[in-house]
Amino acid sequence: MENANETLFQEALTHFPGGVSSPVRAFRAVGGTPKFFRKAWGARFEDEEGRRYVDLCMSWGPLILGHAVPEVIAAAKEAMDEGLTFGAPSRRENILARRIKTMVPFVEKMRFVSSGTEAVMSALRAARGFTKRDRVIKFEGCYHGHSDGMLVKAGSGLATFGEPSSAGVPRGFADLTTVLPLDDLEALEQAFAKLGPELAAVIIEPIPANNGLLVQDLSFLNRLRELCTRNGTVLIFDEVISGFRVAPGGAAELFSITPDLVTYGKIIGGGMPVGLYGGRKDIMAVISPDGPVYQAGTLSGNPVAMAAGLATLEKLTPNLYRDLEHKGARWATAFEKIPGLHVPRVGSLLWPLFQPGVKRADRVESGAIAKFNHMHGLMLEQGIYLPPSGFEVAFLSAAHGDEELAHFERAVGMVGQELRKA
């Protein structure tokens, strides 16, 4: 199957916008034809032409244990044999909820949904219903899924109103979202001074990992917590990536900061579509049927997804987190052998960038991204699959072993030489 990827992609282009089911998969940023994958195991996967890669994208985060982990597959299969969906309560929701509460004690009440986008959308609605306020703050460089109110960028100057960052988002939605820069205490103080009593919620990725890895100073997050408390504003941590990855209790545990609500996704489904929002029980009391805020889902709490999520969370031991931390350090060190490359890191999240010390989205230089795009193609030739955009973080998993690291180190050596020539 010499040109299998190209043939599949040409057909896909007739079916799907850009030939893909989610835009970054189209390889537009890095160029070339996206690979079509047919199977995966551990830290590796194989494309339709039989080429194998060490995967550093790992489906964008869910696969903290690796691809096709036998215990996760077995749990999903066992659930499948008992029926794919009931549209009624089932015991696996209780079991997964219990497990989540032991890992994240501040989640007093929760609801399962089917994606991170849905979790965020619902958490914002809960916050608005609870506070009876409309305005929310988000930060530039944080991604919260693709609901209308979150597809917003900063307005000009010190404008209070955001502007749609996507066509199709009504200005009215964007008007209710104020967008602030990360790593800017003064902008945060000013926004609260001006808008405090109107603010239903502030949402942030406590470890921003969707525009590179923009690790914030602890003082910034602590001050945000204080300002929210003082103003009766609901603080929402969007831990769809960081949850269960950087620590059992996610960034909230790592930083010892408790949000009012939290959103999860990715890891809690173990590779199946799941999201969750939850937190303070007085806030969650507004959710239907207990309260007036409507939120529902045909496949919410799906038994197969619950089983895959539970099997995943059960394997997240203290040892596993120590192992991921150790791996993260070794892979980042190996990566930095490429001249000019910096790899900021939190645990198993790594961001390769040809530029040091970036903490906010607007500081990323286009030259650094152009260099990444070049490196991406060279790494692919060496059998290393990086996320196909310089604004995405790389993910390690428990399945990234010494063999994969050795392969990666060889690739880094070759690619480093090529880049020196360029």
Ligand X SMILES: *Cc1c(COP(=O)(O)O)cnc(C)c1O
CA dihedral 46, 51, 57, 62 (to 10 degrees): 0
Which residue's C-beta sits nearest to ligand X? 116
* Catalytic-labelled residue, pool 238, 264, 327, 371: 238
Per-residue interface string for the shown chain with ligand X, residues 267-296, x marking contact by CB under 6 A: --------x---------------------
- Whether 269 contacts 64, CB under 8 Å: no
CB nearer ligand X, residue 142 or residue 380: 142
Beta-carbon neighbour count of residue 288 at 10 Å? Answer: 12
Active site residue 266: yes
Taking CB under 6 A as the rule, does residue 120 contact ligand X?
yes
Chain position carrying tokens 């990725």: 205
C-alpha neighbours within 13 Å on the C-beta side of residue 255: 25
Residue type, 77: K
Copy the structure tokens of residue 199. 């603010």
CB nearer ligand X, residue 144 or residue 407: 144
Which of 265, 270, 278, 388 touches ligand X by CB under 6 A? 265
Active site residue 35: no
We find the least distance from the C-beta atom of residue 350 to ligand X, in angstroms, to be 15
* Catalytic-labelled residue, pool 53, 143, 264, 385: 143
* Catalytic-labelled residue, pool 35, 266, 359, 371: 266
Taking CB under 6 A as the rule, does residue 143 contact ligand X?
yes
Taking CB under 6 A as the rule, does residue 117 contact ligand X?
yes
Which of 116, 164, 206, 301 touches ligand X by CB under 6 A? 116
Taking CB under 6 A as the rule, does residue 210 contact ligand X?
yes
We find the least distance from the C-beta atom of residue 330 to ligand X, in angstroms, to be 25
We find the least distance from the C-beta atom of residue 145 to ligand X, in angstroms, to be 4
Active site residue 143: yes
CA distance 2 to 49: 6
Which one of the spans 116-124, 222-230, 295-303, 316-324 is the region binding ligand X (CB under 6 A)? 116-124
We find the least distance from the C-beta atom of residue 240 to ligand X, in angstroms, to be 3
Is beta strand 152-153 parallel, antiparallel or unpaired with respect to 163-164? antiparallel
Chain position carrying tokens 């970054």: 24
Taking CB under 6 A as the rule, does residue 389 contact ligand X?
no
Which of 47, 238, 253, 392 touches ligand X by CB under 6 A? 238
Taking CB under 6 A as the rule, does residue 212 contact ligand X?
no
Which of 115, 122, 295, 397 touches ligand X by CB under 6 A? 115
CB nearer ligand X, residue 129 or residue 265: 265
CA distance 399 to 164: 40
Taking CB under 6 A as the rule, does residue 241 contact ligand X?
yes
Cα dist from 140 to 198, 295, 359, 369, 413, whole Å: 20, 27, 11, 18, 35
CB nearer ligand X, residue 151 or residue 241: 241
Q: How many residues bind ligand X (CB under 6 A)?
A: 14
CB nearer ligand X, residue 151 or residue 240: 240
CA distance 163 to 174: 5
CB nearer ligand X, residue 126 or residue 415: 126
Active site residues: 143, 238, 266
Applying CB under 6 A, which residues contact ligand X?
A: 115-117, 120, 143-145, 205, 210, 238, 240-241, 265, 275
